[in-house]
């Protein structure tokens, strides 16, 4: 508990913690959640729905010329994966564990609890990431101290 208080003394950890839950509240599908609460209980809800309709049509274009936005999209994707990949993997493992432990739960239940599970796991990950960033920054400042005489327009 003492270590946890030490982690939350860091302002970046507080920012990451709050930002995680705000982002998860925004991306949560509230319409689907309220529709799920208003549906009556079904006996066969743990069975997948029968497949109706044909296959999907793929509209991908192969060999499109590179654009100016490709490096920007690549950079944004790498940053996104750094911030979410470990949490996504752990969330998928946790959800599979829930599916094996509670096989009679409705499939919609697993879809609904995905984002709350992700939010909790991601909050721990982002808090520890912020703590590591602060430790690395403190170590950097310790190794390379600031200049002894800062620039000033006023003579001493």
- Give me the half-sphere count of Cα atoms (radius 13 Å) on the Cβ side of residue 112: 13
pLDDT (tens digit per residue) in 57-81: 555 556 666 677 778 888 888 888 8
Q: How high does pLDDT run on average in the chain? A: 78
Give yes or no for residue 38 having a pLDDT over 60: yes
Q: Where are the domains of the chain?
A: 12-39+72-142
In the chain, what percentage of residues exceed pLDDT 70?
A: 69
b/e per residue 86-105 (b: at least 16 CB within 10 A):
ebeebbeebbeebeeeeeee
Give yes or no for residue 153 having a pLDDT over 90: no
Give yes or no for residue 93 having a pLDDT over 90: yes
Give yes or no for residue 47 having a pLDDT over 70: no
Length of the chain: 156
Give yes or no for residue 139 having a pLDDT over 80: yes
Q: CA–CA distance from 150 to each of 141, 153, 156 (Å)?
A: 16, 10, 12
**CA–CA gap between residue 120 and residue 124 (Å, rounded):** 7
Give yes or no for residue 30 having a pLDDT over 80: yes
Quick check: pTM over 0.85?
A: no
pLDDT score for 15: 85
CB of 104 within 8 A of CB of 131?
no
pLDDT (tens digit per residue) in 142-152: 888 666 666 66
Q: Which residues contact 109 (CB under 8 A, 6 or more apart)?
A: 36
């Amino acid at each position: 508990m003492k270590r946890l208080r030490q982690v939350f003394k860091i302002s970046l950890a507080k920012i990451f913690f709050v930002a995680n839950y705000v982002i998860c509240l925004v991306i949560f599908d509230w319409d689907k959640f309220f529709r799920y609460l208003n549906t009556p209980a079904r006996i066969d809800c743990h069975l997948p729905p029968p497949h109706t309709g044909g296959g999907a049509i793929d509209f991908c274009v192969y060999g499109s010329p590179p654009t100016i936005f490709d490096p920007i999209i690549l950079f944004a994707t790498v940053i996104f994966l750094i911030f979410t990949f470990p949490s996504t993997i752990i969330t998928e493992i946790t959800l599979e564990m829930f599916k094996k432990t509670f096989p009679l739960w409705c499939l919609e239940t697993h879809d609904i609890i995905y984002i709350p599970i992700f939010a909790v796991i991601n909050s721990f990950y982002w808090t520890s990431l912020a703590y590591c960033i602060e430790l690395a920054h403190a170590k950097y400042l310790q190794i390379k101290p600031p200049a002894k005489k800062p620039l000033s327009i006023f003579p001493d």
